[in-house]
Amino acid sequence: MPLTINSAAKSAQDAPEWGPTYSIREASRITQIAPHIIRYWESNRLLDPDRTTKGHRRFRQKDIDRIMKVKELFYVKGLRVEGAKKALTEEARRKRSSDELPLELTAQSEAYAVLTEVKDTLKEILRSLK
């Protein structure tokens, strides 16, 4: 069955990746969460699975991972819907920040390497002038 993105506002990074998809029953079996709970979490915007053209939910691995994260927030940490939303938003913010960090560190490392080389060259020049 062909898949469609269920929200026209999704960005390219949110587009579904390739790989297997699962029905709600299969996702329920994998995650050990009842289908009605998965639908409830979706209705509260904690989950956003893809939909087929006929409207059936199709869960990808990223959705299964998200269900497991929400399950942890509810059943291990004891959060409710609003608390889980805040926790997921905060986690996404931290992830975006950490995704940017390596680029900054790489640029800083490259700059440090260049400056160290310049410093060593200047030391050699000073030694040769003495």
**Residue with more model confidence, 41 or 4:** 41
The yes-or-no verdict on residue 82 having pLDDT over 90 is: yes
In this prediction, residue 114 carries a pLDDT of 81
Q: Is 4 helix (H, G, I), strand (E, B) or coil?
A: strand
In this prediction, residue 42 carries a pLDDT of 97
Tens digits of residue pLDDT in 11-43: 334 444 678 999 999 999 999 999 999 999 999
Q: What is the CATH number of the domain that holds 55?
A: 1.10.1660.10
**What mean pLDDT value characterizes the chain?**
83
Does 104 reside within a domain? Answer: no
The yes-or-no verdict on residue 97 having pLDDT over 60 is: yes
Average pLDDT, integer, range 98-120: 72
Residue 44 pLDDT class (50, 70, 90 cuts): very high
Is residue 5 within 8 A of residue 16, CB to CB? The reply is yes
Is residue 27 within 8 A of residue 63, CB to CB? The reply is yes
Q: Is 68 helix (H, G, I), strand (E, B) or coil?
A: helix
Q: How many domains does the chain have?
A: 1
The yes-or-no verdict on residue 99 having pLDDT over 80 is: no
59 DSSP 8-state letter: B
67, HSE (Cβ side, Cα atoms, 13 Å): 26
List, edge to edge, every strand of the sheet that includes 57-58: 3-4, 50-52, 57-58
Is residue 63 within 8 A of residue 49, CB to CB? The reply is yes
What range does the domain containing 51 cover? 1-6+15-78
**Residue with more model confidence, 90 or 2:** 90
10 DSSP 8-state letter: -
In this prediction, residue 10 carries a pLDDT of 39
100, HSE (Cβ side, Cα atoms, 13 Å): 5
In this prediction, residue 104 carries a pLDDT of 59
Distances, alpha carbon 38 to alpha carbons 31, 78, 97, 117, in Å: 10, 17, 29, 57
Does 47 reside within a domain? Answer: yes
